[in-house]
Amino acid sequence: MSEFSDDVKALFQERAHAWVTTVRPDGSLHSTVVWVDVDGDDVIFNTAVGRAKERHLRANPRVSVSVLDPGNDYRFASVSGEGKLELENADPVIDRLAKKYLDADSYPFRKEGEQRITVRIRPEEVIFSSGG
């Protein structure tokens, strides 16, 4: 197991898509592609209230998020921990992610009546390969 080092943080801060894995109620795993970033010592991603990720995390907060360096297939990082759901300031977070991934000032795929929620993960387990 690695630490949540500056190298790991830097990889999560790159414009690389990540995938998040949550636990379904039947114990099976659910993985989807997400936009990620780092906030302090936490990895964050954003989703909409009512989506599978949010529902799964309410029932079981265990989560893993991984990212692969698009320029080096052997450089990757994965963090696991408990996902903390935050409604407050979720809209600015999705706008920040839209800027990072789309160079858009605001999230262009917002749906009428949709409520955004941020998932914050304090890494408990970290796997990292520098690709070297």
Domain that holds residue 86: 6-130
pLDDT tops 80 at residue 8: yes
Task: Give domain status of residue 61, yes or no.
Answer: yes
Phi, then psi, of 124 in degrees rounded to 5: -100, -35
pLDDT computed for residue 77 by the predictor: 97
Task: Give domain status of residue 1, yes or no.
Answer: no
pLDDT computed for residue 132 by the predictor: 75
Cβ-Cβ contacts under 8 Å for 33 (sequence gap 6 or more): 17, 18, 19
The single residue listed with the structure tokens 């890494």 is 123
pLDDT computed for residue 62 by the predictor: 98
Task: Give domain status of residue 15, yes or no.
Answer: yes
Q: What is the dihedral angle through the alpha carbons of 21, 48, 119, 27, rounded to the nearest 10 degrees?
A: -30
Task: Give domain status of residue 50, yes or no.
Answer: yes
Task: Give domain status of residue 31, yes or no.
Answer: yes
pLDDT computed for residue 34 by the predictor: 98
pLDDT tops 80 at residue 11: yes
| Cα gap 67→8, rounded to integer Å | 10
Task: Give domain status of residue 68, yes or no.
Answer: yes
Contact 78, 127 (CB under 8 A): yes
CATH of the domain at 75: 2.30.110.10
pTM for this structure? 0.94
Sign of CA dihedral 19, 117, 47, 9: negative
Domain tally, the chain: 1
Task: Give domain status of residue 92, yes or no.
Answer: yes
pLDDT tens column, 72-128? 999 999 999 999 999 999 999 999 999 999 999 999 999 999 999 999 999 999 999
pLDDT tops 60 at residue 1: no
pLDDT computed for residue 48 by the predictor: 97
Q: What average pLDDT does range 47-53 have in this prediction?
A: 97
The single residue listed with the structure tokens 């995390």 is 57
| Cα gap 108→110, rounded to integer Å | 6
